[in-house]
Chains A and B, each alone.
Chain A
Amino acid sequence: MKVHYKINGEEKEFDIQPGELLLDVLRRNNYTEIKGNCYLGTCGACAVLINEVAKATCTTLAAQVNNAEIITIKGIGTISEPHLLQKAFVEKGAVQCGFCTPGTIISAYALLKNNPDPTEEDIKRSIDGNLCRCTGYVQQIEAIKFAIKLLKGGK
């Protein structure tokens, strides 16, 4: 069957099998910025925004989200034009091996879109499904707080 998505602002059509996972469909079509790891919804490496909500693509059926708007980490900002969240993650040392980073930034981005002034508890809750084996989360939380400051400053 065919599915249609708007991915990072571009209209796309893919051939899929009705039981396929969104993660597999997107990676097969070169969206390899989305990482796959646990395939159980528990690590968060595969998170993207689906109609503005952060979701795990490894537990989302590609056919269920036909016609959705999808945003990956590359849709938030690029290497030449990074989003302030991405800049903050680099600046605060919140990226070590980097495997968890796309998913964590997606979750933080979803939080800040709905709540530009979150409490520390809100920040922790927003990334509680994004496991990181390197940073110990301290730098990630600092980076999100720093990004909030930058965003408020309009930089």
Chain B
Amino acid sequence: MLKLKEVGQCFYPNTIEEAAKLLKESGEDTRIVGGGLHLTAFPNPAIKTLIFLNNLKLNYIKEIDGKISIGATTTISELANSAEMNGYLKGNVKKLLQSIASELLRNQITMGGSVAQREPYSDIVTMLLTLRADIVIHDGEKEIKTPISDFYKSNFRATLKKSVIKEVLLEKFDSTYKFGMKRFTRNATDIPLLNFGILAQVNEDTIKNVSIVVGARPGPAERFAQAEEFLKNKTLSKELAEEFGKFVEENVDVAGDIRVGKEYRAHIAGIFAKRILNEFMEE
């Protein structure tokens, strides 16, 4: 089944500068290939040129200047199995990564491909927004670092017609920070029908510096500012978890689609919110 019928050429640039230059020069019908999952599963017949990043050595996870730097072609499996994720936020990011999609898909989906594609249901996008990651792109001349929420507020699709994602940077949160994220699917290979992440600093049971993100709403993942405000300076307790679950169910900005109704999505969001706070207490 020849899905990408019109592809007549492909390139294997040796540097990211060269990759960005090729992308700019080859025009609208050119695509960078990350894991290639989206490009092959949902092929766009207009694509004529492919740029492979194989020679760019963007397959890494390393610590630089107190940040965890993850190269764009790193797959979900590579990140999940990395030493850096073992103790990171008490192993909760690793646990999440291991639960995304299926092993074969985890072995293919890349960080760069997930950020660039920004599927509304992407667990990686919800996770990176919750963790307040930075995205580093290269425009052929220089690197540009942008907080992920600003990146998505900008016209990032236009930017990525001329730039290549180089890496994702994660803060090394100290032990007062807690992270939890849950995803709801009907089976292992189904796309999530809702995902919900919380990152919070908990100092002597007081909640600070919260980020809460909801994805697969079914619209794209977004910060849930009202819920962040609700939790700010509150004391972590069973009662708070209960109240917060109700608040989320009543206020979360979700809609219905062919897969699941609005009320059901809101109900799941409320359950996830409550469970994550309860898990924070058990840590």
A-side residues, CB < 8 A to B, are 1, 17-21, 24, 36, 39-44, 47, 53-56, 58-61, 63-64, 66, 107, 125-131
Contacts and interface: CB of A to CB of B under 8 A. Distances in A.
Contacts of B6: 19
Contacts of B189: 42-43, 129, 131
A21 B37 contact: no
9 contacts: A18-B7, A19-B50, A20-B4, A24-B1, A53-B107, A61-B4, A129-B101, A129-B103, A129-B189
Contacts of A19: 2-7, 47, 50
Nearest to B7: A19
A76 B256 CA distance: 47
Given A41-B105, A129-B103, A131-B189, A59 B41 contact: yes
A44 B10 CA distance: 27
B104 interface: yes
Given A59-B36, A61-B40, A129-B189, A17 B50 contact: no
Nearest to A50: B107
A50 B31 CA distance: 23
Interface string B22-64: 0000000000010011011100000100101010000000000
Given A20-B2, A54-B107, A41 B37 contact: yes
B102 interface: yes
A18 B9 contact: yes
Contacts of A56: 104-105, 108
B66 interface: no
B33 A24 contact: no
Contact of A17 (B2, B103, B107): B2
Interface string B76-104: 01000000000000000000001001111
B102 A128 contact: yes
A60 B90 CA distance: 34
Interface of B: 1-10, 12, 33, 36-37, 39-41, 47, 50, 52, 54, 77, 98, 101-105, 107-108, 188-189
B7 A39 contact: no
Contacts of B188: 128-129
Contacts of A125: 98, 103
Interface centre among A24, A43, A55, A66, by most B CB within 10 Å?
A: A55
A41 B109 CA distance: 11
Given A17-B7, A59-B108, A44 B102 contact: yes
Nearest to A40: B41
Contact of B40 (A1, A36, A47, A60): A60
Contacts of B47: 19
Contact of B1 (A21, A44, A127): A21
Nearest to A39: B1
Nearest to A107: B103
Contact of A61 (B36, B77, B103): B36
Contacts of A107: 103-104
A64 B54 contact: yes
B269 to A, nearest CB: 25
Contact of B37 (A1, A36, A59): A59
A54 B104 contact: yes
Contacts of A66: 12
A131 B102 CA distance: 10
A44 B12 CA distance: 28
Nearest to B12: A66
A128 B105 CA distance: 10
Contacts of B12: 66
A79 B105 CA distance: 29
A61 to B, nearest CB: 5
Given A19-B50, A41-B37, A59-B40, A24 B2 contact: yes
Nearest to B6: A19
A131 B105 CA distance: 13
Given A21-B3, A54-B104, A64-B50, 8 more contacts: A1-B10, A39-B3, A41-B41, A58-B40, A59-B36, A63-B52, A66-B12, A126-B103
